[in-house]
Amino acid sequence: MLNVIVNPHVRKMDRLVAELAQRLTARAVPYRIFYPGKAGDAREYAKCLTEAGETQIVAVGGDGTLNEVLCGLRDPSRVELGLIPAGTGNDFAAAAGIPHGAAALELILNGEAKPTDYIECGGRRSMNIAGMGIDVEILRRCAAMKHGTSRSKYFFSLVATLLRYRGRRIAVTADGTTREYEALIAAVCNGSQLGGGIPLCPAAKIDDGLLELVVVDCPPRIKLLPELVRLMRGKLLERPITHRVSCKAVKIEAVDGAGAVQYDGEIFADSVLDARVVSGGLRMFRS
């Protein structure tokens, strides 16, 4: 039984769901469709379904929907998870080689669920990227924008935020070593991109059993624009202001004790991001 959890707020979702239902019915695949009504409901559906012993879960939506479903799974290791990318970002889908829309259903029906890493963050989980710093402020601006693609919203929100952002003093502990930074961003990457296609860490892989820690020093204001261009081109890792560490666990703390953390685009008030990789902890239909 495929248990399909749909984000009903995505544009043209009715058309997509109708196509999915038609394909499943034509192939005599048993399925149920669940429509979360508000933020957090997808997590509850995933929790209730897996507590009842269901192991075939499909998320239809973007990175936020995928994150909610992942966080709701009682035991991810017992689940085969499918994703039908239909959101505004779909950044993890790009890292996983999952095609957009109904084409992804073929991976679920004909493919094999492969071991896939995810990030365990205390009581939360992340599939793609969790971070602290300017990305939180950018996401807040993106949420307030009504027009544009996810990539354009992220870009213009980034530019607007850079004009005001002053950096954040953080302490980062990885591989037993603690360092402090005046950071533009500190991110823990399982996937390689964020913001609808911006390649923050092209080196990240979703099945290597490692996290990629990326910390970017806050540059002088006069140098912000050139560094922004390098970020958009996937060249930021080559810069001396960027520090990258491959690790299995990392802790990022706001030195002043206040702040917020984003998990796959979902923002929570927190001053600490304590993350570890769960290597191959989830079986997922992907390329």
Delimit the domains of the chain by residue range. Answer: 2-111, 129-279
pLDDT attached to residue 223: 85
Q: How many other CB atoms sit within 10 Å of the CB of residue 269?
A: 9
Cα separation, 194 vs 164, whole angstroms: 21
Indicate the burial class of 28 (C-beta count within 10 angstroms; 0-12, 13-18, 19 or more): exposed
Token pair of 63, please? 């990175």
What's the pTM? 0.93
pLDDT at position 274 over 70: yes
What is the CATH number assigned to the segment(s) 129-279?
2.60.200.40
Closest to 148 measured CA to CA, from 131, 160, 135, 165:
160
- What's the pLDDT tens digit per position in 26-58? 999 999 999 998 889 999 999 999 999 999 999
Query: How far apart, in Å, do the first and last CA atoms of the chain sit?
Result: 22
Q: Domain 2-111 maps to which CATH number in 3.40.50.10330, 3.90.650.10, 3.40.50.300, 3.40.430.10?
A: 3.40.50.10330
Q: How confident is the model at residue 70 (pLDDT cuts 50, 70, 90)?
A: very high
Indicate the burial class of 235 (C-beta count within 10 angstroms; 0-12, 13-18, 19 or more): middle
- What's the pLDDT tens digit per position in 179-237? 999 998 999 999 999 988 889 999 999 999 999 999 999 988 788 778 888 988 899 99
pLDDT attached to residue 150: 65
pLDDT at position 151 over 70: no
